Amino acid sequence: MFDDIRSKRVLLLAHCVLNQNSISDGTADYAGCNQDVMRWLVNSDVGVIQMPCPELNCLGLDRGDAAGATRPVTEENTRIRGELIKESSMVVLRELVRQVVYQVEQYLKNGFEVLGVVGINRSPSCGVETTSKDNREVEGEGVFVESLREELERKGIKIRLAGIKANESAAAVKVVQELVEGE
């Protein structure tokens, strides 16, 4: 089964790597997507799984505050983090995590290689090495990535997680390349 031309290699990406239109107001670094990362991935023959945007799904496109772009990014991200940890948002986040983990399980069950998860550092939801908290960028995971990692661990699934900064394109490509090439 699945013995056709497909590479059987997939990488999970934070939603906004492919769609900058989904991120909070005032924070887009690209008109559409991070073209450098996407160009590299297209040329690597790796399938791309676009994870859902937790902030958009929980809070809407304006993140529940149309004036969000008037605040410094880490301050707005801290506000967003506060909204994400409310029970109403956590219900949605848990369902999003369940859907992502189900996809990972299906790929693994069918002999595919899941190369890793790429998050967005500083993000209150998808940060991997850093997130926003207390109005600053700090070490730690975003709310969604933390829940995803915990659920994967609970199920005994080992997948590498790495964060990129959208505005640091060359460094982002290097991180993705290391995940894909297993370095």
14-26 pLDDT tens trace:
998 887 778 888 7
Domains of the chain by residue range: 9-181
d(CA 144, CA 7): 28
Residue 136, both tokens:
């600053």
Q: pLDDT over 70 for what percent of the chain? A: 99
Contacts of 19 (CB under 8 A, 6+ apart): 32, 33, 50, 53
What mean pLDDT is predicted for residues 161-176? 93
